[in-house]
Amino acid sequence: MNRPFLPAIKPPSHLETAAWWFAFSGDLLMVNVKGKSTSIPLLRSPQELGLQCIRSQYLGLFHGRHCFSAELQERTKPVQNMAFENLRGLYPILGDELFALAGRAKQIMEWDRNHQFCGRCGVQTMSHGRDRSRICPRCGLENFPRLAPAIIVLIARGQELLLSRSPHFPTGIYSILAGFVEPGETLEEAVEREVMEEVGLNLSNVRYFASQPWPFPHSLMIGFRADYAGGEIRKDPNEIEDARWFRRTNLPLLPPVMSIARRLIDGFLEETTTSS
């Protein structure tokens, strides 16, 4: 299988051509804006634009071109033809491949920023060199980029699916249930626990669907399908504002198309259309 992105750790000794630079000021990504076009900057270094990197990280090759992530000062002012944008809103512009790479860049940049000092003894860490890790020169504690596994599940009851609202969702948006995996749990156990805790329902036929890296901030979303097996909706008021069964004819506002939640929902709706 030909992969458009080939990850690597050791940067080239010199750049013969411009590289993709995923440079962040806080949580905002710097993009090139010319007219109606928005793109990831191609540069030899952000210094070309008069910008100083606090730190930068080599990512690898994307379609044969070198890629870097970089941390800029917070509240860096955009230079000519550049702007700083929220990564979530860039998906329709960047598309699947570049959005995924920008998410990788963001996670690696944040991990590098947050592990400059050892969490055990407080000494400044150093880059390992061969691995994507930072190591303490005093006690040897090694830190790799961390992922937080989270399950997300679509529950079907015949032609209906369960959708719910969390208090932190944008106005009007409903989605499917999700939650983080706890230590010592299997993914399937996490699915059943989260559903029972949040809406009080029993499940059957829990099966894997797909996964998606989700860099907000550093999750790996693991998607499942499941069938309703009993119980009445009993909302956890701390987590769920509303939860109901919906048919394709009365759907509320749904999550954005780049999310695995939307892929699960769209897959179910396609099935029900075919079978009806």
Q: Which long-range contacts (CB under 8 A, 24 or more apart) does 192-196 make?
A: 194/151, 194/153, 195/153, 195/155, 195/226
Report the pLDDT value the prediction gives residue 1, as an integer from 0 to 100.
58
Tokens representing 243 are: 């939860």
Report the pLDDT value the prediction gives residue 2, as an integer from 0 to 100.
72
Outline where 128-215 has alpha helix (H).
Answer: 187-199
Report the pLDDT value the prediction gives residue 36, as an integer from 0 to 100.
82
Report the pLDDT value the prediction gives residue 273, as an integer from 0 to 100.
85
Topology (CATH level 3) of domain 5-114: Nucleoside Triphosphate Pyrophosphohydrolase (3.90.79)
Per-residue tens of pLDDT for the chain, all 276 residues: 578 999 999 999 989 899 999 999 999 999 999 878 999 999 999 999 999 999 999 999 999 999 999 999 999 999 989 999 999 899 989 999 999 999 999 999 999 999 999 999 999 999 998 899 999 999 999 999 999 999 999 999 999 999 999 999 999 999 999 999 999 999 999 999 999 999 999 999 999 999 999 998 899 999 999 999 999 999 999 999 999 999 999 999 999 999 999 999 999 999 988 776
Domains 5-114 and 148-275 share a fold: yes
Report the pLDDT value the prediction gives residue 223, as an integer from 0 to 100.
98
Domain 148-275 annotated CATH 3.40.50.720: no
Q: Are 237 and 162 in contact (CB under 8 A)?
A: no
| pTM of this structure | 0.89
Tokens representing 76 are: 């860096």
Domain boundaries, the chain: 5-114, 116-146, 148-275
Report the pLDDT value the prediction gives residue 276, as an integer from 0 to 100.
60
